[in-house]
Amino acid sequence: MTGTRGEEPDGGREDGTYGAASSSTAGVSGTSAAYDSASGTSAAYDPVSGTSALTGTAGTTATTGAVVGELGAVARQTPERVRDAAALVTRGRVFSLNWDLALPDPPILGRGSHTHTRIDLGNGFDDRLDSFYPQGSSQWDGLAHVRGPDDTYYGGHRTAAIAAAAGPLGIEHWARRGIAGRFVLADLVGHGRHGGDCSRRVAYTAADVTAALTAQGTQLRPGDVLLLHFGWTRWYEGLDRAAREALAAEGFFASPGLAVDQETRRWLRGLELSAVAADCPAVEAMPFDMSGPETFLHHTLIAELGLAVGELFDLAALAEDCAQDGVHEGLFTAAPLHLTGAAGSTANALALK
């Protein structure tokens, strides 16, 4: 699809002058990945050979610089990295990142409403959910959610394998292991360009996000969960019923998110994240064109890099706390639904500081 109301071109900035060290890691050969805004690359990643300086492995056409396997990039959450992330919990604060399952209301992006029935047992209650969409509210896009432009899924898998009841990329693989590691929150309301107005398509480039991280004094490391705070869920909660219904009817409405330009895709390859999650509907700016990786960032995020992609995360309370104490990192955990063969799940995510 093409842009609609309030559209801003990808990047929205002409000079592209931002740039800073965007990634460093302890215990991984002392390697640091510095982001170069001029080339749009990270020093830890060679886009020519497809080789990562951190993993020492060469990628394939479908999975350049990524981790091949049932877990995808979640495999980067090594025991050492999880242990280091746990050490960041110093205040004992716990933040649920899960929005109300009934929101958005009406549902958006073609999903439907569930019906919640409370069953009186006489000595207590049970519950039943009908027409439940696991990706209707705070959600994970699993590795089976999007295939690449060459009709293969992450790792080169074909549709026949993914369609099987217990395929190689079902959400159950994340569910069995769990998702845990260091999170870094990039506050794109406090250090961004849209000022919390989520009615416009504002596309954030690698330089934009790096500038926000630099302003916070935060660096990314391999294996991290990058949380992008655009303020979308709180903005949506402030809409009246008529405005919500208009969004639902529009389909791919305007929303801030990541840009789909070459610079941003190269930056994402070089970061070697395990997951990226945002409080907006698609992580990438909407509307978008799903015809190829140059216009649809999910092709890069999921089909190529194998990232766990979170959408509609409720990041408002966490972002407020980070702004108050100046600490934008901590321990992230999530337990996706153990639903064999599923392409997505409710988020079930927590952040601890």
pLDDT digits (tens, 9 = 90+) for 77-135: 999 999 999 999 999 999 999 999 999 999 999 899 999 999 999 999 999 999 999 99
Q: Quick one: average pLDDT of 207-219?
A: 97
Express each pLDDT in 43-58 by its tens digit: 333 322 233 322 322 2
SS3 181: strand
At 167, the pLDDT band (50, 70, 90 cuts) reads confident
Q: What is the pLDDT of residue 3?
A: 32
Of 62 and 125, the structure prediction assigns the larger pLDDT to 125
Model's pTM, two decimal places?
Answer: 0.83
Residue 223's pLDDT is 98
Say whether the peptide bond before residue 222 is cis (omega within 30 degrees of 0): no
Give the C-alpha separation, 73 to 306, whole Å: 5
For residue 31, the SS3 value is coil
Per-residue pLDDT at 210 exceeds 90: yes
User: Which of left, alpha, beta for 80 (phi over 0: left; psi -120 to 50: alpha)?
Assistant: alpha
Q: What is the pLDDT of residue 293?
A: 84
At 292 the pLDDT is 83
Res. 329: pLDDT tops 60: yes
Q: Please report, in angstroms and rounded to a whole number, the separation of the first and last CA atoms in the chain.
A: 40
d(CA 93, CA 125): 31
Angle between helices 262-271 and 206-216 (to 10 degrees): 50
Give the mean pLDDT of 263-279: 97
Please compute the mean of the pLDDT values over residues 257-284 and round it to a whole number. 97
Q: Two tokens at 271?
A: 């970061």
pLDDT band at 164 (very low <50, low <70, confident <90, very high): confident
Span 228-238, pLDDT tens digits: 999 999 999 99
* Choice between 12 and 259, residue whose per-residue pLDDT is larger: 259
